[in-house]
Amino acid sequence: MAFRLRLVPEKTNINFFGYAGITFGGSVVLLVLSVVAVLTLGLNFGIDFRGGTTIRTESSQPLDVGAYRTALVPLNLGDVAITEVFDPGFGPDRNVAEVRLQAQGEDESISQATIDSMLSALQAVDPAVTFESVESVGPKVSGELIWSAAASVLLAMGGILIYVWVRFEWQFALGGLVALAHDVGLTLGLWAVLQLKFDLTIIAALLTILGYSINDSVVVFDRVRENLRKFNVMPLVEVLNLSANETLSRTIMTAGTTLLALTALLIFGGDVIRGFVFAMTWGVIVGTYSSVYIAKNVVLMLGVKRDWSKTDPRTVGRYADVETK
């Protein structure tokens, strides 16, 4: 027998409902806390949603954030935030900073004159400084972006709800939806607590998380559907547990390979997309968790209508593919 790495034993018999108070209840508490965090702390919106300008500066000289700040004060730009950017890929002669400005005008993006005056002000304290990138979003566009972002997340959830409803039963669709709301909620909550930058790429990550999480839930649901037909006298709770145990190995494997790939991106992918990748990593973790501990619980609470009339339980064997609805 050749060596095989087994993350999950061949046969598991975990009772996923055993600690429902801690797992499901805990998630409910975390979800509520997330909502509170978003409402009280608020999200740290990036320029995509708030309007304003982000400038990435690079210099071969050591960075002095204080000097930069002082240099920009006479320009009267309103809120200016300067942060140093770190990445293991930068050598000692690459010193990168990010300068964020509030929106300057009514509708429009930043004027070239402002950018030029900032560059000359910064070059006065550090002649080697250059602007690697300038991104500016006017308040008019950012106001629209925030709505289309929210609409896209809601539309994705709605679409998934309908698809799962058509392919399975409405109980599964609701279970999946609650799991998705959990994933979105916890991600927003974490971003509010850590005050991480929330921009369009995070929305892209959120949507990907939705896709990943529902994929996970659907695999379990698919097995539940199969087992409901196969063992139609078994109580629902046991069918759900059996299905989750049978698919556990796959759930862990897929989460494992995805997290491996994401870890590689997180370490080597550069600082530009680190926020995006971090959101995705977090999402794969909560998404995997929610499909195992949230989606099924909702299905159990709602119950599934099981149609006994068309099949005789005694004739249902291992290979009897009974196609009943």
Partner 1 sequence: MYTVSPMKQIAIWLAVAIGLAFALPNAFYSRVEVHNDAVAQGIDDTSWPAFLPSGLVNLGLDLRGGAHLLAEVQVGDVYETIMEATWPAVRDALAAERDTVGFVTREPSPADELIVRISEPAGAARALEIARGLARPITSLTGAGSTDIEVTGNGPLLTIRLSEAERAAVDDRTMEQSLEIIRRRIDEVGTREPTIQRQGEDRILVQVPGVGSAQEIKNIIGTTAQLTFQPVLGRASGADQVPAAGQEVLPSLDQEGVFFLLDTAPVVTGEQLVDAQPAFDEFSRPAVNFRFNVSGARAFGDYTLDNIGQPFAIVLDEQVISAPTIQSHIPGGSGIITGDFTVEESTNLAVLLRAGALPAELTFLEERTIGPQLGQDSIDAGTLAAIVAGVLVVGFMVLCYGLFGIFASVALAINIALIFSGLSLLGATLTLPGIAGIVLTVGMAVDANVLVFERIREELRVTKIPARAINAGYDRALSAITDGNVTTIMVACILFYFGSGPVRGFAVTLALGTLISVFTALMVTRSQIDLWVALRRPKTIEV
* Binding positions for partner 1, 145-204, rule CB under 8 A: 148-149, 151-152, 155-156, 159-160, 163-164, 167, 200-201, 203-204
Q: How far is the CB of 40 from partner 1 (least distance, A)?
A: 28
> Which segment (24-32, 35-43, 101-109, 298-306) binds partner 1 by CB under 8 A?
101-109
Q: Of 210, 294, 295, 298, which one interacts with partner 1 (CB under 8 A)? A: 210
Which CB atom, from 69 or from 274, has the smaller least distance to partner 1?
274
Q: How far is the CB of 43 from partner 1 (least distance, A)?
A: 18
276 binds partner 1 (CB under 8 A): yes
262 binds partner 1 (CB under 8 A): yes
Q: Is 14 helix (H, G, I), strand (E, B) or coil?
A: coil
Q: How far is the CB of 73 from partner 1 (least distance, A)?
A: 24
Query: How far from chain centre, in Å, is Cα 29?
Result: 19
* Burial class of 64 by CB neighbour count within 10 A (0 to 12, 13 to 18, 19+): middle
CA distance linking residue 303 with residue 213, whole number of Å: 22
Which CB atom, from 23 or from 102, has the smaller least distance to partner 1?
102
306 binds partner 1 (CB under 8 A): no
Which CB atom, from 204 or from 234, has the smaller least distance to partner 1?
204
Which CB atom, from 145 or from 186, has the smaller least distance to partner 1?
145
233 binds partner 1 (CB under 8 A): no
**183: closest CA among 48, 290, 325, 300?**
290
Q: Which long-range contacts (CB under 8 A, 24 or more apart) does 67-71 make?
A: 67/125, 67/126, 68/97, 68/99, 68/122, 68/125, 68/126, 70/125, 71/121, 71/122, 71/124, 71/125
Q: How many residues bind partner 1 (CB under 8 A)?
A: 84
Cβ atoms of residues 16 and 293 within 8 Å: yes
Residue 80 bridge partners (DSSP):
101
Q: Is 297 helix (H, G, I), strand (E, B) or coil?
A: helix
Q: Of 45, 246, 316, 322, which one interacts with partner 1 (CB under 8 A)? A: 246
